[in-house]
Amino acid sequence: MKVLFCTREFPPYVYGGAGVHVEYLAEELAKLMQVEVRSFGDQDVQSGNLTVKGFPYDVDDFNHADAQLKAVFKTLNTCLQMNAEPIKADVVHCHTWYAQFAGIMAKLCYGIPLVITTHSLEPLRPWKREQLGRGYDTSSWIEKTAIEMADAIIAVSKETKADVLQFFDVDESKIKVVYNGINLEQYVKTTQISALESYGIDPDKPIVLFVGRITRQKGIIHLVNAIEYLDKDIQVVLCAGAPDTEDIAKEMEDRVKAVGSNREGIIWIDKMLDKEDVIQLYSHADVFCCPSIYEPFGIINIEAMACETAVVASAVGGIKEVVLHENTGLLIPLEQQKQAPFEPVDPNKFSKDLAKGINRLMADDDLRASMAKSGRKRVEETFDWKAIAMQIKNLYESLKSDS
């Protein structure tokens, strides 16, 4: 058995949850079969059963294109390059719309069964039009085409499966729910504080932490707006970079500046940190906050739980299947607009509710400690990559036997 992964993200170029997923799944599957990864970048790795090759994305050919469409043209070009090199695999497995065109071409040109993992769905991310303009129509078309022609679809949560059935014409029997996982040996609570010292974070004062990209999806603005309702002695650490657009970057900058004028203890780390530093932040945070307005799974929550940190998260998408309310954290209800852009009906209420949940946990040491232990136990029992890799291996084998 050999699988070909087509992906935008792979180390050292990882900026989101899908990239984390691909990295660890490839590593675990390589213990069971041959794994070839074709990614956006300049990677060139051969290690046992794992082969990684990068294909250039930042080429000059499209510099004259419309600024919003440039990313789409570069993406399609890279996907074509991935197929120009002959493919010899039993299955091609694609992650995110950026690589799905490569999977479409591989299935058509090489006759290989296509597997799509739905890390997110374009119909539920209408704010991507801010970033891509009319290119959003292209990304949506690619995703729809790939999902509807796939031989198997992996949904990262039950909620995501329901979304796939709602928005796409697919046979339910083709959809398998397989949760994301985590490296339990790497994500472990640590006493190291070098990262905290580097960014001026006091480990002896209460900390609420956010980790993620600056996007509408991640809801970081709602957490920033919640700061004015937090107890004054709480440090707010925002590990947030890679903004989708200049506009949302400016909005973030303005709001942090505004709330920071009335209180101290807001630390904004405006870049994506490496794993070791993020693990330190998770480990020393008293509460991790995930205020997403759309989240098919929310791998950041299991990262925090693995490091024994209580979670306050919005009750949306797959988060409701990850965070157990009153057990590993608190789920904050979010009444959303029924149509795009799916923002909170009452943003101020949502921010106040986030603050209320954070304040409650900060004031109850025993509850936080109990949630910390329960979170680690839940991750160990439910989100281990070894078991997840076996589920996916079995899926591949079923497609091979059907072909």
Summarize pLDDT for 36-64 with one digit per residue, the tens.
999 999 999 999 999 999 999 988 889 89
What pLDDT, on a 0 to 100 scale, did the predictor assign at position 338? Answer: 86
What pLDDT, on a 0 to 100 scale, did the predictor assign at position 77? Answer: 96
List the one residue out of 66, 15, 4, 63 whose CA is nearest residue 39: 4
**Phi/psi at 218 (nearest 5 deg)?**
-80, -10
Mean pLDDT of the region 213-224:
95
pLDDT band at 17 (very low <50, low <70, confident <90, very high): confident
pTM attached to this predicted model? 0.91
pLDDT per position as a tens digit, 281-335: 999 999 999 999 999 999 999 999 999 999 999 999 999 999 999 999 999 999 9
Residue-averaged pLDDT of the chain: 95
Mean pLDDT of the region 224-240:
97
What pLDDT, on a 0 to 100 scale, did the predictor assign at position 178? Answer: 97
Long-range contacts of 109-113 (CB under 8 A, 24+ apart): 109/83, 110/83, 112/4, 112/87, 113/151, 113/152, 113/399, 113/400, 113/402, 113/403
What pLDDT, on a 0 to 100 scale, did the predictor assign at position 121? Answer: 96
For 243, the token pair is 């903004």
**Residue 392 pLDDT more than 70?**
yes
**Residue 87 pLDDT more than 90?**
yes
Expressed in angstroms, the distance from the first to the final Cα of the chain is: 13
What pLDDT, on a 0 to 100 scale, did the predictor assign at position 242? Answer: 87
**Which is more confidently placed, 402 or 298?**
298
Q: How many CB atoms lie within 10 A of CB 264?
A: 9
Contacts of 160 (CB under 8 A, 6+ apart): 118, 121, 177, 296, 297, 317, 318
**Residue 345 pLDDT more than 80?**
yes
Mean pLDDT of the region 267-283:
95
What pLDDT, on a 0 to 100 scale, did the predictor assign at position 272? Answer: 84
d(Cα 137, Cα 133) in Å, to the nearest integer? 8
Question: Do the beta carbons of residue 318 and residue 298 sit within 8 Å?
Answer: yes
**Phi/psi at 53 (nearest 5 deg)?**
-130, 130
Long-range contacts of 162-166 (CB under 8 A, 24+ apart): 163/118, 163/121, 163/123, 163/124, 163/296, 164/118, 164/121
pLDDT band at 220 (very low <50, low <70, confident <90, very high): very high
All structural domains of the chain: 2-181+384-402 (3.40.50.2000), 194-382 (3.40.50.2000)
pLDDT band at 403 (very low <50, low <70, confident <90, very high): low
For 132, the token pair is 């891509």
Question: Do the beta carbons of residue 231 and residue 359 sit within 8 Å?
Answer: yes
**Phi/psi at 103 (nearest 5 deg)?**
-70, -40
d(Cα 153, Cα 164) in Å, to the nearest integer? 9
